[in-house]
A and B are shown apart, each in its own frame.
Chain A
Amino acid sequence: MKFCRFQEIEHTADLAIKIQASDFQQLLGCASHALHALLNLVFTPSDEQERVIKLAAPDRESLLVRWVEEQLYLIEVEKRGWRAWSLNIPEPNELVAVVHTASIAPLERQIKAVTFHDLEIRECADGLEAVLVFDV
């Protein structure tokens, strides 16, 4: 069964979230949902735009980081977020996504970057899990 769970965990200075999902594809989506929650992303009425994102990386952890980096870049530079997405993993460590972006309200919290700190995608009881640490 597909699922996505995430929760903020203690970190002295920055932000850390534990994400859990049924498989890697869900884990990527779950990271996006978690990011939206951490930033309290609010979409404003605007024209939706569609764009295709293709990413490749040497391993799954790097691909996860790149996926989140794409969103952080769009949020800062274009003030837009991903309202919805469909995601495919044609090859291991590659993804193709069609994302629907929309304008967002000004943010109250800054996330500077997503880090590789202690990043490892592990198997858990019902799927996969990882901890993402963000520099804020």
Chain B
Amino acid sequence: MIRKEDFTHIAPVIWEIPTTFRGDMRVPVRLFADASLLEAALKDQSMEQAINASTLPGLAGPIIVMPDVHQGYGFPIGGVAASRFPDGVISPGAIGYDINCGVRMLSTRIRYEEAKSHMNDLATALDIHCPSGVGVEGQIRLSARQLEQVCREGSTWALKNNYALPQDIEHTEQQGRIQAANPAAVSSRAMQRGKNQLGTLGAGNHFIEVDVIERIFDEPAARAMGLEAGCLTLQLHCGSRGFGHQICSDYVRQFQDAARKYNIQLPDRELVCAPLTSPEGEDYLAAMACAANYAFCNRQVLTHFAREAFEQVLAGRVSDWELRQIYDIAHNMGKVETHEINGKPMQVCVHRKGATRAFGPGHPDLPAAYLSIGQPVLVPGSMGTSSWILVGTEASMALSFGSSCHGAGRTMSRKKAKKTVRGDRLLDELEQKGIQIRARSMSGLAEEAPQAYKDVDAVVEVVVNAGIARKIARLRPLAVVKG
């Protein structure tokens, strides 16, 4: 059991567990938290999992833990690990089963007042246009050849097939396409699971949400993103569906052998890894890129359906119903990036699991519109609470391998949430607050109750105080479609 006394308080919101804490640690663990979020992090297995992750071979720096951390499996949700390229390792469990689970946000010029009376219809239309639920299949049926194209092309496939606008692609992390993708590294089972799920939201904590911009904190940056106080935005949270789940399952299983083959000793089998340049490591990177591209394309197709919903409900009722993409970012991904480590540029494979890339101003990977302000960091809250738009900073490059938080972070188990909260009552409470909810099941709604999550505002304060992100805008929810 890890106690507060085991940490060294190295900066106002940065806490470190040194390598002396446990004999097998190769690097320290560094947690971004205030006193309250530190206490929250100690309530489950999060920090033990971060310490286990610090035993991975070839790490280039500390394991970084975000304030929204919670217990996962193998690697904590809200964790970042950078392994040296080419002599480090890649760990599928440190990326997660929902490869490239991520968030996309779009801005509008629709003022809340003019759309207020249509929110009920808009929630219903989004629910109808964007298929959601467990194992749900979409309108698109991909042939094997088309699925391979999606694997290779990501969002570009959506552009070629009239599901995207050019600006959508430009405003997507890595332009929605990871080059290393190779469908030959993907199992037939994954292909089977992926062929009918493109353009679907899925279930669990995935959602579509309409928000209103409540407050702008940085006018020039907000202008660059097309944000205006009092106007609506749209968020999408989902990933690579069964396609990515199967790829991760396949490789976690295969890597059990790889870990033995390369004589890698680990405290948890879910952390299994392989050298980045080994045949196993290269195959996983190629398959992971396929899932990442599938997820980018999935969010893009859902965006197209959301645009149809907006047009159906708002055309002729508001002056401009267009949805303009602000950004699309992954929060479960492994990427080879260049970071300055000990004063020298070094290539590393940054594993982000429940953590968002947060590159600062001037980074060459940013689109022209954001080059001077930094990369948008999208931080959804829990259902019924604020969401945030932040930007990455130079300090995030130095302190967190260019990463920031990804959400509020759970604090209550699903089991306890269902015991504590009644889905139908929660639905009434949220609707009384003026939030339209569309949910497949009341028990699923209870599991995702705001009480089950940390305070997203406190999480944001920590990353801002740590200097790894800057506030741009705060949003208030108006309509939520739960997967």
A12 at the A/B interface (Cβ < 8 Å)? Answer: yes
B residues within 8 A CB of A116? 73-74, 93, 252, 256, 268-270, 272
B361 at the A/B interface (Cβ < 8 Å)? Answer: no
Question: Are the C-beta atoms of A76 and B193 separated by less than 8 Å?
Answer: yes
A113 at the A/B interface (Cβ < 8 Å)? Answer: yes
Interface hub of A62, A69, A106, A112 (most chain B Cβ within 10 A):
A112
Question: Are the C-beta atoms of A108 and B44 separated by less than 8 Å?
Answer: no
CB < 8 Å neighbour of A135 from B73, B193, B415: B73
Knowing A76-B242, A113-B249, say if A12 contacts B135 (CB, 8 Å): no
Q: Which residue of A lies closest to B415 (CB)?
A: A8
Interface hub of A108, A114, A119, A135 (most chain B Cβ within 10 A):
A135
CB < 8 Å neighbour of A13 from B77, B252, B256: B77
Q: Which residue of B lies closest to A66 (CB)?
A: B253
Give the interface size bracket for B toward A.
35 or more
B414 at the A/B interface (Cβ < 8 Å)? Answer: yes
Knowing A11-B413, A106-B133, say if A77 contacts B193 (CB, 8 Å): yes
Question: Are the C-beta atoms of B253 and A110 separated by less than 8 Å?
Answer: no
A residues within 8 A CB of B413? 10-13
- A117 to B252: give the CA distance in the assembly, Å: 11
Question: Are the C-beta atoms of B412 and A109 separated by less than 8 Å?
Answer: no
Question: Are the C-beta atoms of B256 and A113 separated by less than 8 Å?
Answer: no
In this complex, how many residues of chain A approach chain B with their Cβ under 8 Å: the count is 34
Question: Are the C-beta atoms of A107 and B135 separated by less than 8 Å?
Answer: yes
- A118 to B52: give the CA distance in the assembly, Å: 11
Knowing A110-B203, A112-B245, say if A13 contacts B268 (CB, 8 Å): no
Determine chain A's interface SS by DSSP, over half rule.
Answer: loop
B residues within 8 A CB of A118? 268, 270
Q: How far is the CB of A56 from chain B (nearest CB, A)?
A: 12
- A112 to B206: give the CA distance in the assembly, Å: 13
* Binary CB contact string for chain A from 95 to 118 against chain B (1 if under 8 A, 0 otherwise): 000000000001111101111111
Question: Are the C-beta atoms of B245 and A113 separated by less than 8 Å?
Answer: yes
A residues within 8 A CB of B415? 8, 10-11
A23 at the A/B interface (Cβ < 8 Å)? Answer: no
Question: Are the C-beta atoms of A135 and B97 separated by less than 8 Å?
Answer: yes
Q: Which of B169-224 contact A (CB under 8 A)?
A: 189, 192-193, 202-204
Other 9 A-B pairs with CB < 8 A, given A106-B133, A119-B270: A11-B44, A11-B413, A13-B413, A109-B441, A112-B245, A113-B248, A115-B93, A135-B245, A136-B204
Q: List 29 A-B contacts (CB under 8 A).
A: A8-B415, A11-B414, A11-B415, A12-B70, A12-B71, A12-B412, A13-B410, A14-B73, A14-B414, A58-B260, A69-B249, A69-B253, A73-B193, A75-B135, A76-B135, A76-B193, A108-B440, A109-B134, A110-B135, A110-B203, A112-B204, A112-B245, A113-B245, A115-B270, A116-B74, A116-B269, A117-B93, A117-B269, A118-B270
